[in-house]
Amino acid sequence: MEQVHIKVTEDNKRERVDKIISTEHEDTSRSQVQQWIKENRVKVNGESVKANYKCQDGDEIVIDIPEPVELEVVPEEMPLDIVYEDEDLLVVNKPRGMVVHPAPGHLTGTLVNGLMAHCKDLSGINGVLRPGIVHRIDKDTSGLLVVAKNDSAHKHLGAQMKAKTTTRKYETIVHGVIPHNKGTIDAPIGRDKHDRQKMTVTDTNSKDAVTHFNVLERFSRYTFVECILETGRTHQIRVHMNYIDFPVAGDPKYGPKKTLPIDGQALHAKTLGFVHPRTEENMEFTSELPDDMQKLLDELRRN
């Protein structure tokens, strides 16, 4: 059993205890926290409380998190766009709309389900729900990601991600006309304390996040941009572009609801580069924009 300690600060005093826990422990839903409270797994200053308890500055919250229940992930035959494959890894071009790995309540139709049917040898470092997954891209983002077939490859590739030596370039269409040709957004990202389904630029419980961008083409009300990730935070490009007031088109979570006609955000992981974990060869892969995003660009050019 894992035990988590949270110290209430001036920033989050007078907030409900269930909200503070779900914000701080970002992988846990508020309904799950409320269930833990009912099971007396949550104590504030050593005492059981109700979910609506308003915390005070200096309160000590302790959560006894139960061991996760292992869920069976079933292999599913599905078409996969595999760009490269060898005994250690494979590179997949994920379509927009596909979830990368299963989660409770969403155990089928994911990339992992398809990978398990395609090959039996995936690394086990990330556990039963995320075998082989070294890094993720959002459900409604298309493009390249690398999958490890064994633990050695997984550790090697993960170390490269941590050391920021991999190449990850995205192409996106954003609202507004960016006046300068290139720039760098260096702004820490953490969970939005008002909406735990969103990330935001914040100094509270955040991690460093750096995105470099180059303008590829300008239109009357939109800009076609290349974004280069130096770090890989959740929703990083979407949050950073919104932070500088040029939100990604097709992304109502971080931008305007009235947007370009595309199913999901106009964001594509176009280029992926890394050192092969066995041969130490520098490898780089690129993928073409999906058809709907390319059609949007063509239409913007005509107009």
Task: Give the model confidence (pLDDT) of 262-302 as tens digits.
Answer: 989 999 999 999 999 999 999 999 999 999 999 999 999 99
Question: 26-30, 41-45, 97-101: which range is least confident on average?
Answer: 26-30
In CATH terms, 2-65 corresponds, of 3.40.50.620, 3.10.620.30, 3.10.290.10, 3.40.50.2300, to: 3.10.290.10
Model confidence pLDDT, tens digit, residues 86-96? 999 999 999 99
Q: Could you give phi then psi for residue 20, rounded to 5 degrees?
A: -60, -45
**Model confidence, pTM:** 0.77
* C-beta neighbour count of 56 within 10 angstroms: 11
Asked if residue 196 has pLDDT above 80, the reply is: no
pLDDT band at 32 (very low <50, low <70, confident <90, very high): confident
The pLDDT of residue 4 is: 84
Q: Could you give phi then psi for residue 21, rounded to 5 degrees?
A: -65, -45
Q: Please name which of 143, 146, 102, 153 lies closest in space to residue 123, comparing C-alpha atoms.
A: 153
Q: Provide mean pLDDT across the span 219-223.
A: 96
pLDDT band at 73 (very low <50, low <70, confident <90, very high): confident
- The per-type count for the chain, helices as H runs and strands as E runs, is 6, 16
Q: Provide mean pLDDT across the span 252-269.
A: 93
The pLDDT of residue 74 is: 85
The label of the residue with tokens 């064994």 reads 150
Catalytic residue among 138, 195, 245, 298: 138
Pairing assessment for the beta strands 142-148 and 89-94 based on DSSP bridges: antiparallel
Model confidence pLDDT, tens digit, residues 105-155? 677 889 999 999 998 788 876 666 677 888 889 999 999 999 999 999 999
CA distance 152 to 164: 19
Indicate the DSSP class of residue 254. T
The pLDDT of residue 210 is: 96
**138 has catalytic annotation:** yes
Tokens of 189: 């990202």
* Domain 69-163 identical in fold to domain 169-269+294-302: yes
Residues with Cβ within 8 Å of 188's Cβ and at least 6 positions away in sequence, in order, are 201, 202, 203, 206, 207, 208, 209
Over the range 256-294, which residues count as b (16 or more CB within 10 Å of their CB) and which as e?
Answer: eeebbebebbbbbbbbbbbbebeeeeeeebebebbebbe
Tokens of 14: 């007078």
The pLDDT of residue 70 is: 60
Q: Please name which of 88, 230, 223 lies closest in space to residue 168, comparing C-alpha atoms.
A: 230
Q: Provide mean pLDDT across the span 244-262.
A: 94
- What's the CATH number for 69-163? 3.30.2350.10
The pLDDT of residue 262 is: 92
The pLDDT of residue 27 is: 61
The pLDDT mean for the chain works out to: 90
CA distance 109 to 85: 21
Torsion (CA) 114, 115, 119, 125 in degrees, nearest 10: -140
* Helix (H/G/I), strand (E/B), else coil: 282: strand
pLDDT band at 13 (very low <50, low <70, confident <90, very high): confident
Asked if residue 11 has pLDDT above 90, the reply is: no
Model confidence pLDDT, tens digit, residues 162-195? 899 999 999 999 999 999 999 999 999 998 877 7
Burial of 296 (0-12, 13-18, 19+ CB in 10 A): buried
Q: Give the domain ranges of the chain.
A: 2-65, 69-163, 169-269+294-302
Sheet holding 199-201, edge to edge: 199-201, 189-191, 206-207
The CATH architecture annotation of domain 169-269+294-302 reads 2-Layer Sandwich (3.30)
